[in-house]
């Protein structure tokens, strides 16, 4: 089954404690990205990756890091989380097939930073 997986699904942590949210896709897509969703602000892109070892900032990259060492995985790293990073996070994987462009989202990670 084609899917994007994220772990953990729920996380409560404290300010300053480094954490990593993993993302994996089994569709061999080159393009992956991270979004956060906040009430009143909608979904905003944090980082994206066009391929292995190629990453770039999205609209709200401050406080986040990513890496893309292999095609299937795209972890999101919060080196020193702060309460304003409390949010719902989505990983997405993008597919181009002919004229069709599709972005599949993972199930989401609810992060609370105390």
Q: Kindly list the residues in this chain that would bind another protein in the complex (CB under 8 A).
A: 31, 33, 35, 42-43, 45, 48, 50, 56, 58-59, 88, 90, 92, 94, 99-108, 110
Task: For residue 92, give every residue at least 6 positions away whose Cβ sits within 8 Å of its Cβ, in sequence order, or none.
Answer: 4, 32, 33, 34, 35, 103, 104, 105, 106
Looking at the Cβ atoms of 8 and 16, the one nearer to another protein is: 8
Looking at the Cβ atoms of 69 and 99, the one nearer to another protein is: 99
For 61, phi and psi rounded to 5 degrees? -85, -15
Looking at the Cβ atoms of 74 and 90, the one nearer to another protein is: 90
Q: How far is the CB of 80 from another protein (least distance, A)?
A: 26
Q: How far is the CB of 78 from another protein (least distance, A)?
A: 19
């Amino acid at each position: 089954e084609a899917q994007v997986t994220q772990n953990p699904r729920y996380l409560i942590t404290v300010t300053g404690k480094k954490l990593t949210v993993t993302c994996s896709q089994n569709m061999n897509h080159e393009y992956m990205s991270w979004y956060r969703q906040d009430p009143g602000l909608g979904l905003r892109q944090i980082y994206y990756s066009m391929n292995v070892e190629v990453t770039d900032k999205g609209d709200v990259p401050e406080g986040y890091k990513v890496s893309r060492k292999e095609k299937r995985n795209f972890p999101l790293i919060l080196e020193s989380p702060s309460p304003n990073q409390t949010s719902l996070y989505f990983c997405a994987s993008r597919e181009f097939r002919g004229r069709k462009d599709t972005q599949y989202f993972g199930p989401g990670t609810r992060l609370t930073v105390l």
